[in-house]
């Protein structure tokens, strides 16, 4: 896995649930180092308003 870009929404959506939570490492299959990079990218993307913090869709 290379650098995870926080602007690459299509890739980041694979790592969050439909509610907007970051998926667990055991579900994504990422190692610890990559999971941290994914989490940081998702959090940066949320700060930039590219991804929602949570979704209340029911």
Could you give the count of Cα atoms lying within 13 Å of 15 in the half-sphere of its Cβ?
25
pLDDT surpasses 70 at 4: yes
For the segment 16-52, what is each residue's pLDDT rounded down to a tens digit? 999 999 999 999 999 999 999 999 999 999 999 999 9
Q: What angle (nearest 5°) sits at the alpha carbon of residue 53, between those of residues 15 and 49?
A: 95
Q: Which domains does the chain carry?
A: 1-58 (4.10.640.10)
Record the pTM. 0.87
């Amino acid at each position: 896995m290379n650098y995870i870009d926080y602007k690459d929404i299509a890739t980041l959506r694979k790592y969050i649930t439909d509610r907007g939570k970051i998926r667990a490492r055991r579900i994504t299959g990422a190692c610890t180092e990559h999971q941290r990079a994914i989490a940081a990218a998702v959090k940066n993307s949320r700060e930039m308003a590219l991804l929602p913090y949570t979704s209340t869709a029911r």
